[in-house]
Structure 1
Amino acid sequence: MIVGVLFIIIFGFDLAYTAIWLTSEDSDDPELEGHPVKYNKTGALIPVTDILYLDVSALVEDDMNQGYEPISPWRRRAIIYMALINCGVLVALGGLASWHSRLISRGETSIEANINKAETTRLQNLGKVYINPYNFGARKNWRIFLGLVQGRSWFMHVLLPSWHEPIGDGLTWHTVHDEGVDEWP
């Protein structure tokens, strides 16, 4: 999801830039100074002081658009909404993915992270060191998380994970205190 949102943000930037900043409302031409004028029947110039008398039909469409097609306000709002949603999803899921990556690297669940933090503080006050029993090191923790243990491969167990049974019975797990922990996984 993060990769998809990044794709939309990167490749949609040109669309958003064109639709939001390069529309007919923004003009590179300098603002005209003075008052608009109107010709009367005798050919004399009369200053127009009220906007109701300005003849908008005399404006050429190409002068207003500066070479860009006019964009509807709904499309502009939809592009802004899409940009805000994608940025929000990127920040939220990016933070969540980062947090869970750290948890996997330490061999913890989100609940165990709170328990391990409390236990570390409690044992530190007693002058002892707390060791997480499920932390086998970052590399081994990721291999356990992906199921790449006991001879399992990327193709048959990560890309096609459904056909094999899970490791263990779901009630007990290996810890760093088990005998032969270096052989597993």
Structure 2
Amino acid sequence: MVIGVFFIIICGFEIAYTAILLTPTDVDEPELEGHSVKINKTGALIPVTDVQYLDSSLIDDEQNFEYITPWRRRAIIYMTLINSGVFVALGVLSLWHSQLIGRGETSIEANINKAETSRLAEIGRIYTNPYNFGTKKNWRIFLGLVQGRTILRNLFLPSAHEPIGDGLTWHTIHDENIDEWP
């Protein structure tokens, strides 16, 4: 989502810049040429079947900007604010979760580990997260690239392998065969 919103921001920058900063706001909306129906003397509506063309020689050369209606300008400002907000909010959330993955924690475990670290520091002991195998190994576990699994087979194609463990217990740094896994 962060990458998609960033793509929208980059591709829409010129449109937003032109609509917000370069388009004058004090210009009245252009008057419409003609009507879709005409009213005759009796009050009956007669549909217009001919097309009226605007003679390009009548256009004032001093007004060389593309006119943007006020509602379109407000819509572009709204989209700019929404995309910027989503980019910042999800960007910060993604960075925070990337750090959690690197430390081998969930968001709940981060709070528990913080409390345990301060509690044990008061009595002179050091707390060690039992699920922190190091940044590189934690990311490999998160992506499922353990026990011979590859990026192509595990991330981009459907995977037929069984999940690691039984879902109730997890490997820790205290396991005897820690060098063999993952």
TM-score for both structures, normalised by structure 1: 0.77
Find the counterpart in structure 2 of residue 38 from structure 1: none
- Asked if 1:7 is matched to 2:7, the reply is yes
Gaps of 5+ in 1: 28-59
Alpha-carbon contact 2:102-2:136 (below 8 Å) kept: yes
Q: Does 1:154 align with 2:173?
A: no
Relative to structure 2, which stretch is displaced further, 102-111 or 10-19?
10-19
Cα displacement (A) at 1:17: 1.2
Aligned length: 152
Aligned twin of 1:19: 19
Alignment CA distance shift 1:130-1:26 (3 Å): same
Secondary structure, aligned partner of 1:182: coil
Partner residue, 1:142: 139
> What is the one-letter code of the residue matched to 2:127?
Y
1:175 counterpart (161, 169, 172)? 172
> How far apart, in 1, do the equivalents of 2:181 and 2:16 lie?
52
Mapped to 2, the partners of 1:132 and 1:103 lie a distance apart of 12
Matches within 5 A, 1:95-134: 95-134=92-131
Counterparts of 1:25 and 1:92 in 2: how far apart (Å)?
Answer: 31
Question: Over aligned residue pairs, what C-alpha RMSD do you find?
Answer: 1.8
Tell whether the 8 Å contact from 2:117 to 2:126 is kept in structure 1 after alignment.
yes
State, as a whole percentage, how many aligned pairs show the same letter.
70
Kindly provide the amino acid, as one letter, of the partner of residue 85 in structure 1. I
Q: Specify every segment of 5 or more residues in structure 2 that has no aligned partner in the other structure, as ranges.
A: 28-57
- Counterparts of 2:109 and 2:123, CA distance in 1: 21
1:72 corresponds to which of 44, 69, 73 = 69
TM-score normalised by L of structure 2: 0.78
Are the structure 2 counterparts of residues 162 and 150 from structure 1 closer, same or farther at C-alpha, using a change threshold of 3 Å?
closer
Whichever of the two has the greater Rg, that structure is 1
C-alpha distance 68-173 of structure 1, shift in aligned 2 (>3 A): same
| Residues 87-138 of structure 1, C-alpha deviations (whole Å, 9 max, x = no match) | 0000110010001000000000001001100100111111011000000000
